Amino acid sequence: MTPILLEFQIRGDERGSLIALEAERDVPFEVKRVYYIFGTQSGVIRGRHAHRNLTQVAVCVHGACTFALDNGRGGRCEIRLDRPTRGLLIESMTWREMADFSSDCVLMILANRNYDPNDYLFDYAKFCEAATSMQIEPGP
C-alpha cells in the first residue's frame, strides 16, 4: 500500500508563507469538517480506528507525527508527516494509527462529512472482516 500524498503550493513572498486549501481543488472533496489535534502527550497513540464512509486529508501544520495506515487486506504503510506543505489522503475503510507526536505537533484533519460516532470501526478484527468481505463480488 502506497500513501497518497498531496503536495500543496506555497504562496510565499518576502513576508513569509501561506497555503490555501480549497475544496475540490487542493483537497479532493467538499470539506464538511476540520479538526485539529495538539498538545498530544509523549508516547500516546491516537486513532486506532477506521471509518466506514469518510474521506480525510491529514496535514501536520506544525511539528511532526507518524501515520500507520492499513487497508485490512494486508496492505500497510507508514508515513511521517513533518511539513505543512503535505497532505495525506485517508480513504474510507482505512485503519489508522498516529504515533510519535512531537510535543509541538498540530495535526489538522479535513473531512468530507460531519462527525458521526456510528461511522467508526474500533475493532480491528471486525474491520479486517468488513474490508475483506467488501472485496467479494456479490453472487448472482
Q: Is 44 in the site for ligand TYD (CB under 6 A)?
A: no
**What is the distance between the alpha carbons of residues 136 and 127, in angstroms, rounded to a whole number?**
15
For residue 113, which phi and psi values (nearest 5 degrees)? -140, 160
**What is the distance between the alpha carbons of residues 95 and 122, in angstroms, rounded to a whole number?**
9
Nearest approach in angstroms of CB 29 to ligand TYD is 15
Q: Is 33 in the site for ligand TYD (CB under 6 A)?
A: yes
Q: Which residue has the cell 498531496?
A: 6
Q: Is 35 in the site for ligand TYD (CB under 6 A)?
A: yes
**What is the distance between the alpha carbons of residues 94 and 131, in angstroms, rounded to a whole number?**
9
Instruction: Write the binding mask 77 to 116 for ligand TYD: x where contact by CB under 6 A, - elsewhere.
Output: --------------------------------------x-
Nearer to ligand TYD by Cβ, of 7 and 116: the residue is 116
Q: Is 52 in the site for ligand TYD (CB under 6 A)?
A: no
Among 33, 24, 40, residue whose Cα is nearest residue 58: 33
Q: Considering only residues 28, 47, 63, 84, which one is a binding residue for ligand TYD as defined by CB under 6 A?
A: 47
> Catalytic residues, which ones?
49
